[in-house]
Amino acid sequence: MVTYATELKTVLLGVDAVMLARHGAVYPPVAVAMANGVRTRLGATYGLATTGVAGPEPADGQPVGTAHIAVSVADDTVVRTIALTGDRQQIRRLTVENALGLLLGSLGKRSTDYSVTLAANTGWHDLAD
């Protein structure tokens, strides 16, 4: 789900509207709630969420380059806050790369049945048979 609009975070993912009003969308617990929401509402094993400020201007009192990334699994949710530099496109790309890295780390903790790697400029490749 792409829930760029704050209202969609509440309607589609179940993020608490009071929390969003009080802290804004760029807040670590919002990333956690988004990851939990996408996992539970879609019946997925993993939920992955990002929220942040790619620019060009600060938002929600946060500087450009701030990103919060969360991965949710039934028994665990991990959130990371990163500070990135670059233009809007670079910040968005680095946020996705960090999010996929966090997801990959979660997958590695939970399964030895397959390997996944990130190939430069080509996307994700499942190396399993």
Query: 86-101 pLDDT, tens per residue?
Result: 999 999 999 999 999 9
> What is the dihedral sign for C-alpha 116, 119, 123, 127?
negative
Distances from the Cα of 124 to the Cα of 4, 18, 77, 101, 104, angstroms:
24, 37, 23, 11, 10
Q: For the segment 68-127, what is each residue's pLDDT rounded down to a tens digit?
A: 999 999 889 999 999 999 999 999 999 999 999 999 998 887 654 444 333 333 333 333
**Integer CA distances (angstroms), 44 to 48, 69, 99, in order:** 10, 17, 17
